[in-house]
Amino acid sequence: MLFKLSYKNIKRSIKDYEIYFLTLLFGVSIFYIFNSIETQAVTLDISNNMMQIIKIMSQVLSGISVFVSIILGCLIVYASRFLMKRRKREFGIYMTLGMSKKQISSLLFVETVIIGLVSLGIGLLVGIFGSYLVSGIVANLFKADMTRFTFVFSEKACAKTCLYFGIIYIVVAMFQMFIIRKSKLIDLISANKKGESKKNKNMLCCVIVFILAVVTLGIAYYLAIEKTFGNVNGDKMLLLAIFLGCLGTFLLFWSISGMVLKILINHKELYYRKLNSFTFRQVSSQINTNVVSMSVICILLFITICLLATGFSIKRNLDESLEKQTPVDYQMIISNDKSDYDLEDVQKKLDSYLSGNEMDKYKVKSHNFLRGLKGKSAGDLKWLEGDNQSITTLIYEYIFPVSEYNEYLRYSKKKTCELKDNEFMIYSTYVQKDINNQILEHNRHLRFQGNNFDYDLVCNSKTVNEDQDFLGPDAMKNGYIVVPDNVYKTLEKNAKNTGNLTMYGNKEISIQQIFDNEEFKKNEASDFYKVNVTNILSNSESTLDSSKVEQGLVHDFQEEIIGKDKLEAIKNENKNTKAENDIALVQEATGLNIYYINKKEVVDNSVGIGAMSVFIALYLGIIFMLSSAVLLSLKNLSESVDNTERYRMLKKIGAENKLINASLAKQIGIFFFAPFAVAVIHTIFGMKFAMYILKSMDQKINLPSVIVAIIVIIVFYSAYYLITYLQSLNIIKTDENKR
């Protein structure tokens, strides 16, 4: 009996349940799709390394899924609460007929179970088919071909979806029971008599709140941009900024409707034209009664835009910088930090090793350079800044002689450069670029001073170069300088254990101040080390077997220099310590730093990170868009009844359809795009913040990506606006026909 009643209830109020049901359905299918990516990927032709990345990605996604399920849970509870409100009278009638609260609760429970099961079933089906689409995206992002196209069903994702949504349904059911238990019959019965107590807001109050809102938002923006980075309390500041941002948004929507209306009323020509007075009043009252949901929609949109923009940016940046970061297939870097090995010898050994191991069929080129200012990265400088020390030295890690550098440029088919005897060139990117540019503004001198030499070089450009490349990611990040050959030779001669080799950035400001700093001394700022880099470029026909090269270049070669016995001894000695890998181990023991960059690995990682950011952005973006769409729909549904009545009145007093439609379009339009406009303003500042984060990750905001993200959202949002408008129009029309 109960089941039958529940079933009929759902069937009868199918229109009301439509949104609720669709929310569940989309929630389930999106949840399934993003949790089944790992299973999807197995069927694709993907390298091991890629698979590893996909595994990490699916772990990240499943972590995010917890967050997503909380959002969906809140959304579903909100939607169900909304439906309960609409059915109050119905429950009241049941109670007058003698039904107990317990029975109504179980009736609702049965309803929830029915809807839950149906939406879960259909949602999973949609998800299974939808995951095909995602397979395509996975294949595309991971650059795999999708020749084998098989039907996949992820039991794991399915079980997970059922579990998470099961919990959500239980929460919803409990929530409903709670509401029924505390409701009174009289409230239920008279629920349909709407208490019209629309308060007219005080103008002065509105203005004050508006100013307050603007100030609050201003502080939030300021905190987010200026105070979060390089600040000890950065994370607290960020939380404060988020809180103030939400508060400001709320206050803004609270105050703005009253204010704008007041201004419009005073523009009589506009206000009393067509149905404008009606339209503005409607919008104002809608905003008044929906301040919270509008603020939430605004914030959700803001997060969505930022997520998509950042995600696309990272992806694009990675794609763009990939070639730059990996000019060669393989790069081996040997730096002689503290060891007694002579780098000349090491290099000779390497050359003979390479020619003796068929490596000569590749294009191989070795370069020598110096490495200095070890450990002086942007992070350290931040710390210095915090101590009220201004930065006075240029930041770079590597020093190249100009002849060697030009040789490399020729080798990689790039334009060579020229340098006068008293000049130097500087290359750096990201954070270092900005800092170095600031320094160059004040002082373009760089001074190398030792016991028997003193070079004062001038930078040959006004700003830092950033478009050249030499090494892999490491040098790109840390920056390097190119000096005349004779300077290099002197430096090289004095490189090892030259305690008196000092670097000067600025003659006026005493650099000694910085060098006196304990922390800076620890970093051995004045030492240079010799470094050898060997670039290997494969012929176009033959692809490099990475595992073979790795084995050869690193392990065999290590053996060659250090000696088999000694290497074994080191490894045995350190069996119990947790060094990252053999390379790190050897480096620690010998002071000889050998490491390599494998283009394929870099490419895979880069693709992986790009794909990951796109997926996370898509996952959260879709969920947030869904949430704001649902909030808007519920709001629209709740007002459709009242509004229908109003439009009928207008029609009766002779308003043309054209006028009514235009008014409706304006109303919905303002309601849709007001949060969007505020969200875009938030985004401008939010992206500034994101820029700092990306910068610290060696990324930057890619303007086209931001624009693409905004366009994507505008397209979806406008489509949704159009649907809502047509739907509302339809409600009015059908009402007319019924009469």
Point out which residues bind another protein (CB under 8 A): 196-198, 200, 268-269, 271-278, 281-282, 284-285, 642, 646, 649-657, 659, 739
How many degrees, rounded to 5, is the angle at CA 171 between CA 167 and CA 175?
Answer: 170
φ, ψ for residue 457 (rounded to 5)? -105, 150
Buried b (16+ CB within 10 A) or exposed e, 334-365: bbbbebebebeebbeebeebbeeeebeebebb
- In the complex with another protein, the residue whose CB is nearer, 196 or 580, is 196
Q: Give the nearest distance from C-beta 674 to another protein in angstroms.
A: 17
Run of H or E including 37? helix 37-42
Q: Give the nearest distance from C-beta 294 to another protein in angstroms.
A: 17
- In the complex with another protein, the residue whose CB is nearer, 101 or 646, is 646
Q: Give the nearest distance from C-beta 15 to another protein in angstroms.
A: 24
- In the complex with another protein, the residue whose CB is nearer, 323 or 736, is 736
CA–CA separation, 64 vs 66, rounded Å?
5
Q: Give the nearest distance from C-beta 645 to another protein in angstroms.
A: 9
- In the complex with another protein, the residue whose CB is nearer, 279 or 628, is 279
Residues 529/398, Cβ–Cβ less than 8 Å: no
Alpha-carbon distance values, 583 to 334, 553, 558, 589, 595 (Å): 11, 11, 9, 10, 7
C-alpha dihedral sign at 309, 312, 315, 318: negative
- In the complex with another protein, the residue whose CB is nearer, 98 or 654, is 654
How many degrees, rounded to 5, is the angle at CA 144 between CA 140 and CA 145?
Answer: 95
Beta-sheet strand order (sheet of 454-459): 502-504, 445-449, 454-459, 423-427, 480-483, 398-401, 363-372, 528-537, 330-336, 592-598
- In the complex with another protein, the residue whose CB is nearer, 70 or 270, is 270
Q: Give the nearest distance from C-beta 58 to another protein in angstroms.
A: 51
What is the 3 state secondary structure string of 170-239?
HHHHHHHHHHHHHCCHHHHHHHHCCCCCCCCCCHHHHHHHHHHHHHHHHHHHHHHHHHCCCCCCHHHHHH
For the chain, give the number of residues.
739
Run of H or E including 425? strand 423-427
- In the complex with another protein, the residue whose CB is nearer, 130 or 669, is 669
CA neighbor of 530 nearest in space, from 370, 398, 334: 370
CA–CA separation, 394 vs 548, rounded Å?
40
Q: Give the nearest distance from C-beta 281 to another protein in angstroms.
A: 4
Q: Give the nearest distance from C-beta 233 to another protein in angstroms.
A: 47
C-alpha dihedral sign at 354, 360, 364, 366: positive
What is the 3 state secondary structure string of 124-173?
HHHHHHHHHHHHHHHHHHCCCCCCCCCCCCCHHHHHHHHHHHHHHHHHHH
The angle that helices 657-696 and 703-738 make with each other, rounded to 10 degrees, is 150
Q: Give the nearest distance from C-beta 651 to another protein in angstroms.
A: 8
- In the complex with another protein, the residue whose CB is nearer, 273 or 548, is 273
Q: Which two tokens stand for residue 432?
A: 């270092």
Q: Which two tokens stand for residue 470?
A: 């030499």
Q: Give the nearest distance from C-beta 276 to another protein in angstroms.
A: 7
DSSP secondary structure code for residue 553 in this structure: I
Characterize the bridge pairing of strands 480-483 and 398-401. Answer: parallel
- In the complex with another protein, the residue whose CB is nearer, 18 or 642, is 642
CA–CA separation, 84 vs 375, rounded Å?
62
- In the complex with another protein, the residue whose CB is nearer, 273 or 442, is 273
- In the complex with another protein, the residue whose CB is nearer, 254 or 330, is 254
Q: Give the nearest distance from C-beta 724 to another protein in angstroms.
A: 19
Q: Give the nearest distance from C-beta 274 to another protein in angstroms.
A: 6
- In the complex with another protein, the residue whose CB is nearer, 143 or 273, is 273
Q: Give the nearest distance from C-beta 95 to another protein in angstroms.
A: 29
